[in-house]
Structure 1
């Protein structure tokens, strides 16, 4: 997809704050500091639209980013950070659950996992929860540039086996640093947007620019 412009729209905590224009939404979930903001910036060819932070747990809302007039990326709060209070984790969990179960515009959930490490228990629980409710998932293994190419397939297999990846769910290796997997991920996103015939005409697919 050719990204002509991208804008941050809102940090939402309640359904009444969500955009009402009906554009398809792509959710991004993952552990704190797994690289969700860096992935968004690479996908839209911007350096710092999505703010990256060295402080885990900083994102506390559903952050909406509009891409062209085609779709939204919806960045979830990172999970699995011990210093976030139990009460705050419960608030986040309820907010995310309400969004995932009720948001008709949600077309795909990107589950972001660090390629260098086996999926955490939180990653496994999130994937199982999503599949229990039959939500479409694409697993994105980030930070591919941090390990030798010769070890990529071994690490991908570890992720597949740990999650017990279901048939039809894709696993994409990604690097925000060098752009590995960017066009492949755009193709997956576009396919899920096109699955809804009412929205297909709003999607303009062109070669991406690194």
Structure 2
């Protein structure tokens, strides 16, 4: 059974002091604005409207928590990199993201969403740098794989794998398409592995 089948909205916060207190663990999802993060979450949870999908980048401005089970939460982080967002808000997001990723002890791992046509941009690398110092799990999902031919998508995947092997050898990566449901089983398997290996969640 998928970890995500019973997902339901839990709480939305805009300040670190409002982060929920609970006895479970969290899995964070982050990505550039318009990279397809909300679509990934909706596809994984098989819920078309769980995470808000907008054609306007930068729409997700809060940290949204979804409960997967009593001791596990999916955390939808604000999209980053949208230039039209006012500088004050953009700086607030930056501070919120970096501090949450680096200090949240109950965070199991980070799922980093990148458009397969535009992977490893400067802000994506910044996210990798922010989180890799925690030595927690990171998995990259290269979304919108259906926008490229299979050869092009696999070529990009291999290029990203080569880069990660050199600079972030513990980070995993896959292709994903919400439209075609490509990569759904692989994503479930990898994220479930994080949960299964976390001793705090074992009975």
- State the TM-score, normalized to the length of structure 1: 0.88
Cα distance per residue 1:155-185 (max 9 Å; x no partner): 1123334554522211011111121111111
Q: Which residue of 2 aligns with 1:32?
A: 33
Shift, 1:128, TM fit: 2.5
Shift, 1:125, TM fit: 2.0
1:200 aligns with 2:202: yes
1:93 partner SS: helix
Shift, 1:10, TM fit: 1.4
Cα distance in 1 for residues equivalent to 2:71 and 2:148:
34
From 168, 171, 176, give the equivalent of 2:170: 168
Q: Which residue of 2 aligns with 1:19?
A: 20
Distance 1:198 1:162, change over 3 A: closer
1:25 partner SS: strand
Distance 1:45 1:13, change over 3 A: same
1:73 partner SS: strand
Aligned pair count?
201
Q: Which residue of 1 aligns with 2:183?
A: 181
* 8 Å contact from structure 1 (residues 118, 162) kept in 2: no
Question: RCO greater where, 1 or 2, for CA within 8 Å and sep 6 or more?
Answer: 1
RMSD: 1.8
Give unpaired runs (5+ residues) of structure 2. Answer: none
Cα distance per residue 1:30-56 (max 9 Å; x no partner): 100101110001001111111101111
Cα distance in 1 for residues equivalent to 2:71 and 2:145:
28
Cα distance in 2 for residues equivalent to 1:165 and 1:141:
18
- State the TM-score, normalized to the length of structure 2: 0.90
* 8 Å contact from structure 1 (residues 124, 162) kept in 2: no
Shift, 1:16, TM fit: 3.9
Q: Which residue of 1 aligns with 2:116?
A: 115
